Amino acid sequence: MTTGANTALKPYIERARKVLQHEQRTNHRDQAAKPGGLDVFVKHWLDEIRPVCHALGRDLRPFYRLASCLKGYRQQDPLQRAANLRAALALLNELEREQEAVPSRQPSLEPSARSQASEPGGQLARPASSPALRREQVPGGDRSQPQLRSAHSEPGRGGRERREAELDHITLDGSSTPGHAALTLLTADVSAIHGVGPTVAARLRSLGIHTVGDLLFYFPREHRDYSKLLTIAELPFDEVVTTRGLIWEVKTSRTSSGRTRTVATLSDSTGRLSAVWFNQPYLQKQLSEARGEWLVVTGVKQRFGNKVTFTVRSHELPEKGELLNTGILVPVYSLTEGLPARTMRRLTRWVVDRYAALVPDHLPPTIRQAAGLLPLPEAIAQMHYPANEEMLAAARRRLAFDELFLIQLGMQERRTRWQRELPSGQAFKVDLARIFIEPTPAEREAVQAAATPEAEAQGVQGFRSQAAAGTTLWTSLADQRPFEATLPFRFTAAQRRVLCEILGDLSRSRPMCRLLQGDVGSGKTAVAAAALFVAALNGYQGAIMAPTEILAEQHARSIGTMLAPFGIRTVLLTGGLRPKERALGRAAIESGEAAVVIGTHALIQEDVTFQRLGLVIIDEQHRFGVEQREALRQKGYHPHMLVMTATPIPRTLALTLYGDLDLSVIDQLPPGRQKVITRWRTGARREEAYRLVEQQLAEGRQAFIICPLVDESESLSARAVTAEYERLSREVFPHRRLGLLHGGMKPAEKDAVMRRFRDHELDILVATSVVEVGIDVPNATVMVIEDADRFGLSQLHQFRGRVGRGAHQSYCYVLSADAGPQARERLAIFQEIDDGFKLAEHDLRLRGPGDFIGVRQSGMPELRIADFNDTRLIEEARTLAIRLWESDPYLQRPEHAPLREHLSRFWQAFIPH
């Protein structure tokens, strides 16, 4: 801020002071500003000063605070008007002092540099050499900590000296710029903050706060509304409320238990109040010295016999300074032991007042305007100390948009790197007559649309292109019938639609990037088999990577059966194979004899070489990290990639987590599939479930019993699978064959148990959540889930999907003995709804996104502000990110440099390079 800034703001401050002082002289009659009174005057005053502050890079928060003092002025009584007017004038005086102190508190800026720094999108360049910093002792402060002080600043006396001791100053050498100064201040160690000694600094660092900038971006987890002041007569009993009164009398005594009890008598025009503090004897002196002044208190009014007292939780003397702990929307921060809430608020207020305005805004003005967003410095300030609920919502929206926008830009970068930056892959020839029994005209158009002239002009070969090797295989297949004709069923409309989307991608030379979602039993495997069939027709190999050996074996059996009529060889490759089998499989893959390869992580081992890998399919993709998916893709020459999941993901979450992928959804189950009858019962009605299990076993069926824990826990009351297995084997089903399965077992042991259950060598499988995916037993008809309240809706739905896969009616019992209100709501929803996507929406609303995906496992930054339920903001961020990326890929333009650098820092730890 320069002298020019002082000149620009001074007339506004002077005009407001004259109006407020005139209101004081006329006995607070609200006649100083006509028409409309002070309420209208302040609104117009803010409208005038806002663009000036934005142009100067000036923090608007003090001006909003001043306006909030006079909000509702006309409806206030004279005492309230007088107090609020005094507070507003005090704020004006503080603003004027800040203007006078600005040249010594901020680095001086050259005119050209000043305009660059005040521009919201101005870039902060890293200095070649750090500015010279001067270590000085702080009068009355922690003499061990360094302070950044100006070479021009001199200690004053009294109040001025104390104020100056709290200021951060910086000395710039001749080569420094405003950007250098801001960067130096924001990256300064947290110990440079006034009042932060070694002990406090260590506690801040334990919270991840190492620099001044870290503290600026350490946002409150919530705000408590202590801003609504009630008169003493209006105070209700047993509610946390805020009031104020003049201090009349203060007494401190000791209770029979040895605690100190300080009581202050407060009054306003409506009554008197006894405010009480415990074990704070220092308040006797502080409050006694403030007799006759206003005190703002937040607490609870309570009745003890015939006495009424007000137990104080926080208090402030508004005439001694700004409100931090009461009378406002009070920020509540996550803390650590030894770091009190008051200390944290004092520190955040200090850095917000001085440095929020220095934070450069990385968003281009066009994006801010299109989304209607606050400037970043203002959003940071309002996120900590909002003027009102509306400003808090606006600040949260800006910061949430930033997270979502940066994620979407990162997804665009990932997609571009996958599809455009790399050389073109192979466009497959697609003949729908070889896929569907009777392809419809609409289906033909859907596939051909992928090869539009515009796409061809971009280097896409289109669906008419042919691979020479593919032409030979095309005519030499053992069976010339359409793929669908060899299946024991017909594709559903949803399968046909999704398959056309996939075939359209395969017909392009630009590699496919698609996510296939489908509920349990919707037929994703058949769609994947059809895609593999097309790859084989074109002379390319296809690979499916599954998370477990049992799931890989299931795919090998089912897909192998589908492709066998055409003479297409399918090879299974897992870690559990014998060395000889593994060697034979590797040889078939390397020679190209194996057209389809299905396996686990074994596929990405260095000794596995593909001859011509053209299609990569990842099943249950959330079980794999970004690096593992990339490792399999690298086995081929820019192959097409399809990732599949049986976990329904709400569209908003899919757009955020998988913004780099096109989305296909199979939202229809095959006809004739029976609904699994679901019953929610308390633990006391467990016998009902056991009777049904016994009845089904007598008919030759099988059952699952799921427990949340492996071993018994002293801290958790949930059932443990090991103990439950012993109890069921001994007491409930002694004449039945039971198997035990949990994550603590070795992979070979787990696979052996699952195979025994699949082959009906076991009647009941007692297991943990390891059966969520990877086992298909059509003969299993009962699923019993113990302590179901410990699972999310999506996970419960996956468990339920393990039954109902055959021709027999199936049942799912969810048992819960100690479900809380939210868990009861969740289980009631689960009992009524069997649509996985609807359940996923409810799960997202009730439990957040954690149930759908492991954040770091997916290569996703963790969101701190954004909410996955905010569909509109997600869509807006995605639309604007795509628009910006298409207009300027990789953000090459100079005006996008700050955003490019910020994007790089944001994603640095998550995107592999």
3-state secondary structure 659-717: CCCEEEEECCCCCCCCCCEEEEECHHHHHHHHHHHHHHHHCCCEEEEECCECCCCCCCC
Residue 467: is its pLDDT beyond 50?
no
Confidence of residue 453 (pLDDT cuts 50, 70, 90): very low
**Which CATH superfamily hosts domain 677-833?**
P-loop containing nucleotide triphosphate hydrolases (3.40.50.300)
Structure tokens at 187: 């990256």
Residue-wise pLDDT tens digits, 20-33: 888 877 767 787 77
Q: What is the mean pLDDT of residues 382-406?
A: 92
Which pLDDT score, from 0 to 100, does residue 337 have?
Answer: 82
Could you tell me which residue, 114 or 820, shows the higher pLDDT? 820
Highest mean pLDDT among 146-160, 536-550, 845-859: 536-550
Beta pairing class for 677-681 and 811-815: parallel
Which pLDDT score, from 0 to 100, does residue 222 have?
Answer: 83
CA-wise closest residue to 572 among 751, 765, 430, 805: 751
CA distances from 402 to 121, 266, 673, 902, 903 (A): 14, 46, 44, 10, 10
Report H helices in 173-294. Answer: 178-186, 198-206, 212-216, 283-289
Residue-wise pLDDT tens digits, 801-819: 888 888 889 999 999 877 7
- Tell me whether domains 432-666 and 677-833 share a fold: yes
Which pLDDT score, from 0 to 100, does residue 491 have?
Answer: 92
Residue-wise pLDDT tens digits, 314-349: 887 765 555 555 556 778 888 888 888 778 888 998
Which residues are bridge partners to 225 per DSSP?
A: 329
Residue 485: is its pLDDT beyond 80?
yes
Percent pLDDT > 70 in the chain is: 78
Residue-wise pLDDT tens digits, 175-184: 444 455 566 6
Of 2.40.50.140, 3.40.140.10, 3.40.1350.10, 3.30.230.70, the CATH number of 228-327 is 2.40.50.140
Tokens 């600043």 correspond to 153
Within 13 Å, how many C-alpha atoms sit on residue 595's CB side?
23
Which pLDDT score, from 0 to 100, does residue 911 have?
Answer: 44
Residue-wise pLDDT tens digits, 190-241: 888 888 889 999 999 999 899 888 899 999 988 877 667 788 998 999 888 8
Could you tell me which residue, 81 or 512, shows the higher pLDDT? 512
Could you tell me which residue, 640 or 628, shows the higher pLDDT? 640
Average pLDDT, the chain: 78
- Distance, in Å, from the CA atom of 544 to the CA atom of 571, rounded to the nearest integer, reads 10
Contacts of 421 (CB under 8 A, 6+ apart): none
Phi, psi of 48 (to 5 degrees): -75, -40
Phi, psi of 641 (to 5 degrees): -130, 130
CA-wise closest residue to 190 among 357, 348, 362: 348
Helix (H) or strand (E) holding 615: strand 613-618
Residue 773: is its pLDDT beyond 60?
yes
Q: Of 604-613, 736-745, 853-862, where does mean pLDDT reach its minimum?
A: 853-862
Residue 89: is its pLDDT beyond 50?
yes
Prior bond of 35 cis (ω within 30°): yes
Q: What is the mean pLDDT of residues 296-310?
A: 87
Fold classification of 432-666 is Rossmann fold (3.40.50)
Which pLDDT score, from 0 to 100, does residue 69 have?
Answer: 80
Residue-wise pLDDT tens digits, 573-613: 988 888 888 899 999 999 989 999 999 888 888 888 899 99
Could you tell me which residue, 55 or 215, shows the higher pLDDT? 215
Residue-wise pLDDT tens digits, 635-683: 887 889 898 887 777 776 777 777 778 888 888 877 767 789 999 887 6
Which pLDDT score, from 0 to 100, does residue 774 have?
Answer: 58
> Is 93 in contact with 21 (CB distance < 8 Å)?
no
Residue 888: is its pLDDT beyond 70?
yes
Residue 715: is its pLDDT beyond 70?
no
One-letter amino acid at 552 equals A
Which pLDDT score, from 0 to 100, does residue 99 have?
Answer: 65
Domain ranges of the chain: 3-105, 228-327, 432-666, 677-833
- Distance, in Å, from the CA atom of 277 to the CA atom of 581, rounded to the nearest integer, reads 78
Q: Which residues in 136-166 are b (16+ Cβ under 10 Å) and which e? A: bebeeebeebebbbbeebeeeeeeeeeebbe
